[in-house]
Amino acid sequence: MGITARNWREYPQRYRLEAAKCSQCGKVFFPPRLICNQCKSRKFETIKLPGEGTVKTFTVIRVAPTNFIDEVPYAIGIIELLEGFSTMMQIADCDPEKISIGMKVKLEFRKIQSDGEAGVIMYGYKAVPVSE
Amino acid sequence: MRDVAIIGIGMNEKWGELWDKSIRTIFTEAALNAMDDCNVDHIDSMYIGCMSGGLFVGQEHLGSMLADNLGADFIPATRVESACASGGLAFRQAFMDVASGMSEIVLAGGVEKMLDVDGGAATYALSTAADQEYECFHGVTFPGLYAMIANAHMAKYGTTRKQLAHVSVKNHMNGSKNHRAQFPFKTTLEEVVNSVMVADPLTIMDCSPVTDGAAAVILCPLDLAKKKFANKPIIKVIGSGHATDSIALHDRKDLTWLSAVELSGKRALKMAGKKIADINVCEVHDCFTIAEICVTEALGIFEPGMGGPSVESGITNIGGKIPVNTSGGLKSKGHPVGATGIAQIIEITEQLRGISGDRQVNGAKVGMTQNMGGSGGSSVCHILEVN
């Protein structure tokens, strides 16, 4: 669907987990923004997000968008990586029935989807359970 | 600002799979029905709620096409988009157009033709209401987003699977009395819970359908309504509220709380000079069963966490203390996304006119609508009162 440019310009965030931290109030934005919605500062520093977090909520997708039809069922959740900061990703390498809110996960670099049969492969992050 | 009244309402005879009609035809049908309802021979301007003519039927530039098809040559016509809240927002623009003194007789309409594409394309078109690069990229769907809200709500408040099902059972019961509903059948708790799972814990019977449909209403200044359109009860628009929130669900502090709904409701109530307890009947955005539960909490009808127990108790049934979604809601009536917000206005207008038949809420004087975009990234509320 011609989404190559939309993919490569997100590489810093997806491949290196880079976020923007407001220099004034400390709020973290992912992807980076130009103005902080909390204190309106326009100064940020680039930080690397931690590679571990906890499941805040999740679901198991059983009816998928066209690009993900071969993957069903798959789990997807909102993962808290820092206090007050969360983002969405798939939860892989586990039985979806065993996922629970509060579960600890770590982030791994994975293939997410491809742009049709002949297009670019798009990589990013997925969460996998941390074995206790 | 001038006081504004609703004088005409119109929809298609029935919503659903309207294979034999194009987007231009279904919109024009609803618009002509609204004009005939109040016998106006012209309109001065119009606003059309439509989420994605481009993705559903490959047609943008609806202002031009639909004004032309309505025979309303050369009028200002504006297409309005706020995902599934497009209709509610189109109504708000029409209200402001009349209230400001810019126009006299204004049409607020909504349309969506969703069944000209296959299921995968419809799912994709709807998903554009979420964050493409940070939600949809990972394979989430709209049922998936609301399923995550449901799981968070269940964990935080103990809301049960059965309570979610009660929303669907109630709305199908109401829809079974609505001849325009796409799915006017009744259902049971067991059927809802045991239907095909879409995104855990939501089954297909927790989800509103894809629908072809259109709706339209005619607005004018209250003074003009009293002079020329007093043969039917005059419905005043006494409050309008609109709010936005982050498009991505994960950017919200409390995943169970819809701040845009709370704020749009408060803004509408403040303009109306009413309290939530003054509302006699309510149409809210039940795109998924959990949405109705969260919306009734965010509007302040129930305390946080009490939306589930409340629907279970029957308090939101027709005949209950505060009937919610007497039309059958999005669940049973159907959800042509751009038209939904206008159809909510029509249901409340009919309730206040006292012409809702088997669905009538006795003595309804003040009603409220709440129309949501995406997973709660936008919300529009209106309060109507019979003069």
Q: Is residue B66 within 8 Å of B28, Cβ to Cβ? A: yes
Cβ–Cβ of B200/A59 closer than 8 Å? yes
With beta carbons less than 8 A apart as the criterion, state whether B240 and B369 touch: no
Q: Which of A74, A76, A115, A126 to mutate to test the interface with B (most CBs of B within 10 A)?
A: A76
Task: With CB atoms and an 8 Å threshold, state whether B198 touches A62.
Answer: yes
Under the banding of pLDDT at 50, 70 and 90, the label for residue B271 is very high
Cα B362 from Cα B304, distance rounded (Å) = 28
Is a pLDDT exceeding 90 seen at residue B255?
yes
Q: Which CATH architecture has domain B139-201+236-386?
A: 3-Layer(aba) Sandwich (3.40)
Cβ separation of B123 and A10 shorter than 8 Å? no
A55-67 as b/e: b if 16+ CB within 10 A: bbbbbbbbbbbeb
Nearest chain A residue to B197 by CA distance is A62
What share of chain B in percent tops pLDDT 90?
98
The pair of structure tokens assigned to B10 is 């119109």
The half-sphere exposure of A89 on its side-chain side, counting CA atoms within 13 A, is 30
- The ipTM assigned to this model is 0.96
Taking the complete model, does pTM exceed 0.95, yes or no? yes
pLDDT at B225 over 90: yes
Band of the pLDDT at A3, cuts 50, 70, 90?
low
Asked if A60's CB is within 8 angstroms of B141's CB, the reply is: no
Residues of B in contact with A90 (CB under 8 A): 138-139
Average pLDDT of every residue of chain B: 97
Question: Is the bond into A50 cis (omega within 30 degrees of 0)?
Answer: no
Q: Is the pLDDT of residue A56 over 90?
A: yes
Question: Does A85 contact B at CB distance below 8 Å?
Answer: no
Chain A residues inside the 8 Å CB shell of B198: 62-63
> How far is residue B272 from each of residues B183, B221, B238, B241, B267, measured CA to CA in Å?
34, 16, 5, 10, 9
B-chain residues within 8 Å CB-CB of A86?
Answer: 250-251
Q: Check residue A1 and give its pLDDT.
A: 47
Average pLDDT on B262-283 reads 98
CB B290 within 8 A of CB B144: no
User: Number of residue pairs across A and B with CB atoms under 8 Å?
Assistant: 99
With beta carbons less than 8 A apart as the criterion, state whether A25 and A6 touch. no
B chain contacts of residue A68, beta-carbon cutoff 8 Å? 139
Q: What is the pLDDT of residue A2?
A: 52
pLDDT digits 0-9 by tens, B293-323: 999 999 999 999 999 999 999 999 999 999 9
Q: What is the pLDDT of residue A116?
A: 76
Residue B197's closest CA among B205, B189, B209? Answer: B205
Residue A117 is predicted with a pLDDT of: 76
Indicate the burial class of B246 (C-beta count within 10 angstroms; 0-12, 13-18, 19 or more).
middle
Residues B19-73 have pLDDT tens digits of: 999 999 999 999 999 999 999 999 999 999 999 999 999 999 999 999 999 999 9
Q: What fold does the segment set B4-118+210-235 form as a domain?
A: Peroxisomal Thiolase; Chain A, domain 1 (3.40.47)
CATH 3.40.47.10 location in chain B: 4-118+210-235, 139-201+236-386
Instruction: Give the mean pLDDT of chain A.
Output: 93
Query: What dihedral angle (degrees, nearest 10) is formed by the CA atoms of B91, B93, B95, B98?
Result: -140
